[in-house]
Amino acid sequence: MEEKEAVVVTPGEVLGTTSDVKAGRGAYEALHNSTVYASLTGFRRIISPPPNSTDQRPIVEVTGHKAHGPVPEPGSVIIARVTKVLAKTASADIMCVGPKSVREKFTGIIRQQDVRATEIDKVDMYLSFRPGDIVRALVLSLGDARAYYLSTAKNELGVVSAESSAGATMVPISWTEMQCPLTGQIEQRKVAKATS
């Protein structure tokens, strides 16, 4: 019952139900909903059970492939480019996990409550991030199947690079403001404190 086609799966992707398949390497069973999920990025393989086995469910496993580069995990610090800012969230494309650049497309979401540690109810997403900003953030969790939840709630997290409307790279002047060196115009941001 080997699959001919190599199917690439990512963490959290549904591989089947526990009544149909058994979780092998790179997969896990969620007992609350009897579903088998992938626990890493790799190729899905379905292996026939041994003929003398009492459990005749095929085994589904995910074999990792190193060519894919780093994968964001809860607790890792990432660098991402903000793509969209809404009233309660900002979306970003993850570019680096730690010092390594990613080879796949990973999307992150910064929720309003995860922007900063204080005065969470006063956070204005439009004054914290703009599309195109480069942010340093912490991966909180896998979020939903489409995006990782990110946090910029520590001092060293937040916008590390932003372009002004004049096209210049802005300079941070406080933890909430960046200034355009060409026009002197000041824009609001959730600025990352420089780590030396």
pLDDT, one tens digit per residue, over 28-53 is: 888 889 999 988 888 888 988 888 88
Please tell me the predicted confidence (pLDDT) of residue 11.
85
Please tell me the predicted confidence (pLDDT) of residue 49.
84
> What domains can you pick out in the chain, each with its CATH number?
7-68 (2.40.50.100), 77-188 (2.40.50.140)
pLDDT tens figures, 60-90: 988 876 555 788 888 999 999 999 999 999 9
Rounded Cα–Cα distance for residues 2 and 43 (Å): 12
Please tell me the predicted confidence (pLDDT) of residue 67.
54
Helix (H) or strand (E) holding 126: helix 125-128
Rounded Cα–Cα distance for residues 100 and 19 (Å): 39
Pairing mode of beta strands 171-172, 7-9? unpaired
The residue with greater pLDDT, 144 or 150, is 150
Please tell me the predicted confidence (pLDDT) of residue 3.
46
pLDDT tens figures, 158-191: 999 999 988 999 999 999 999 999 999 999 999 9
Neighbours of 161 (CB within 10 A): 16
pLDDT at 143 over 70: yes
70, two tokens:
């780093």
183, two tokens:
């026009």
Please tell me the predicted confidence (pLDDT) of residue 66.
56
1, two tokens:
């019952």
Closest CA to 24 of 38, 14, 11, 10: 38
8 Å CB contact between 125 and 111: no
One-letter amino acid at 177 equals E
Give the residues across from 158 on adjacent strands. Answer: 136
8 Å CB contact between 133 and 143: no
pLDDT tens figures, 110-127: 999 999 998 898 999 999
pTM for this one? 0.66
Closest CA to 40 of 5, 13, 7, 60: 13
